[in-house]
Chains A and B, each alone.
Chain A
Amino acid sequence: MTTSTPPVAQHPGPTAESGGERSAAARFWRSLTRTTTGQVYLALIAILVVCWVVVAIKGSNLLSIDSIADMLIRSVALGIVAAGQTLVIIGMSLDLSVAWVISLTSIVAAVVMDGSNANIAPGILVVLALGMAIGLVNGLVITKLRVNPFIATLGVALIIQGFIESRWDGVVEGVPGGFEDSLGYSEIGPLPIAVLLLVAVYALVWFLLRYTRFGHQLYAVGGSEEVSKLSGVRTHRILIMAHVICSLCAAVTGLYLAARLGAGSPLVGTDGGYDLESIAAVVLGGTYLLGGRGSVLGTLAGVFILAILDSTFNALEVNAFAKDVVRGVIIIVAVAAYSFRWKERRVRKIGAGPAPAVTGNAPQTQTPGANA
Chain B
Amino acid sequence: MSTSAAPVPEGPSGVGEGAPSALARVLGVLRAIPVVWYLTIILWVWIAAINPLFAEPSGFLAYLKQAAPLAILAAGAFFVLASGEFDLSVGSLVTVCVVIAAAVSDGDPSKTVPVIALLFVIGLIVGLINGVVTTIFRVPSFITTLAMLLILDGAVWLYTSGSPKGALADNFREIGRMGIDVPVIEQLPYSVIILVAIGAFSVWLMRGHFGRQVLAVGDNDRAAALSGINVTRVRITAFVLSALSAVIAGILLGGFAGVTAQVGQGLEFEAITAAVLGGTVLGGGRGSVVNAMAGALALTALFSWLNLQGVSGALEDAVEGVIIIAAVAVASYRLREGS
Contact B332 A280 (CB under 8 A): no
Contact A158 B324 (CB under 8 A): yes
Given A150-B272, A319-B158, A324-B150, are A158 and B139 neighbors across the interface (CB < 8 Å)? no
A145, CB-defined interface residue at 8 Å: yes
What is the CA–CA distance of A47 and B329 in the complex, to the nearest angstrom?
A: 44
Query: Which residues of chain A are near B319, meaning CB under 8 Å?
Result: 162
A359, CB-defined interface residue at 8 Å: no
B143, CB-defined interface residue at 8 Å: yes
Contact A325 B158 (CB under 8 A): yes
Query: Which residues of chain B are near A150, meaning CB under 8 Å?
Result: 272, 282
A80, CB-defined interface residue at 8 Å: no
CB-based nearest B residue for A283 = B143
Query: Which residues of chain A are near B170, meaning CB under 8 Å?
Result: none
Expressed in whole angstroms, the minimum distance between the Cβ of B36 and any Cβ of chain A is 14
CB-based nearest B residue for A326 = B154
Contact A158 B151 (CB under 8 A): no
Query: Which residues of chain A are near B133, meaning CB under 8 Å?
Result: 332, 336
Expressed in whole angstroms, the minimum distance between the Cβ of A148 and any Cβ of chain B is 4
A157, CB-defined interface residue at 8 Å: yes
Query: Of the candidates B137, B146, B153, B317, which one forms a contact with A158 in the assembled complex, judged by CB atoms under 8 Å apart?
Result: B317
- The digit string for B311-328, where 1 denotes a CB below 8 A from any CB of A, is 011111111111011001
B138, CB-defined interface residue at 8 Å: yes
What is the CA–CA distance of A141 and B276 in the complex, to the nearest angstrom?
A: 15
Contact A166 B315 (CB under 8 A): yes
CB-based nearest B residue for A148 = B282
What is the CA–CA distance of A279 and B143 in the complex, to the nearest angstrom?
A: 9
Contact B138 A336 (CB under 8 A): yes
A323, CB-defined interface residue at 8 Å: yes
Contact B329 A280 (CB under 8 A): no
CB-based nearest B residue for A342 = B138
B147, CB-defined interface residue at 8 Å: yes
A343, CB-defined interface residue at 8 Å: yes
A328, CB-defined interface residue at 8 Å: yes
A70, CB-defined interface residue at 8 Å: no
- The digit string for B134-159, where 1 denotes a CB below 8 A from any CB of A, is 00011110111011111101111110
What is the CA–CA distance of A324 and B158 in the complex, to the nearest angstrom?
A: 10
Given A163-B318, A321-B158, A325-B151, are A141 and B139 neighbors across the interface (CB < 8 Å)? no
- The digit string for B142-182, where 1 denotes a CB below 8 A from any CB of A, is 11101111110111111000000000000000000000000
Contact B146 A329 (CB under 8 A): no
Contact A340 B138 (CB under 8 A): yes
Given A166-B315, A321-B158, A328-B151, are A155 and B321 neighbors across the interface (CB < 8 Å)? yes
A290, CB-defined interface residue at 8 Å: yes
Expressed in whole angstroms, the minimum distance between the Cβ of B286 and any Cβ of chain A is 12
Query: Which residues of chain A are near B328, meaning CB under 8 Å?
Result: 147-148, 151-152, 155
Q: A148-B282, A166-B314, A321-B154 are in contact. List 6 more A-B contacts (CB 8 A).
A: A150-B272, A162-B319, A280-B146, A325-B154, A328-B146, A335-B143
Q: Which residues of B contact A (CB under 8 A)?
A: 133, 137-140, 142-144, 146-151, 153-158, 269, 272-273, 276, 281-283, 312-322, 324-325, 328-329, 332-333, 336
Q: Which residues of A contact B (CB under 8 A)?
A: 141, 145-148, 150-152, 154-166, 276, 279-280, 283, 289-290, 319-325, 327-329, 331-332, 335-336, 339-340, 343
